[in-house]
Structure 1
């Protein structure tokens, strides 16, 4: 890697560490909210959308794609597989 690439990678890693608590908070919201209520559904949809964008930016394409699948499931009101998708999202991120 070039020096510029090293600096970019280091910056992204630092941003990930700084913003990881927010990411974890959004995942916890997905796991604890009730998608059958208006407030829960809206909060989950917003969290999934934000996660899909942020996780891709931080270099976690699998997690980003899973968050997009959660968002899509919420939009289509296909709620049966949400717990599995949330687990897959957690598993796609480093511990």
Structure 2
């Protein structure tokens, strides 16, 4: 699945879902799925004239919570840093607080 940000008024018409043919085409940096991520779409999406409903099969209560995040989660930021920073800060002496990464 790919995700892109657009202006609010064009959100419903430009959502893009892409199925990857090869799982090696992406990486999660060994971070488990983040149910608190801002990347989770709303449960009900209009795509042109078509209604799309997203559901989580194994965690039913989550179906009512999807798409309600007002800001990025810690793991959203961590993934962005890992993806775009590469090895730039790998040798830094930054001390993480509050049991974070």
Q: Same fold (TM over 0.5)?
A: no
**TM-score, normalisation: structure 1:** 0.31
Looking at secondary structure, tell me which structure has more strand per residue. 2
Q: Compare CA radii of gyration and give the structure with the larger one.
A: 2
Structure having the higher helix fraction is: 1
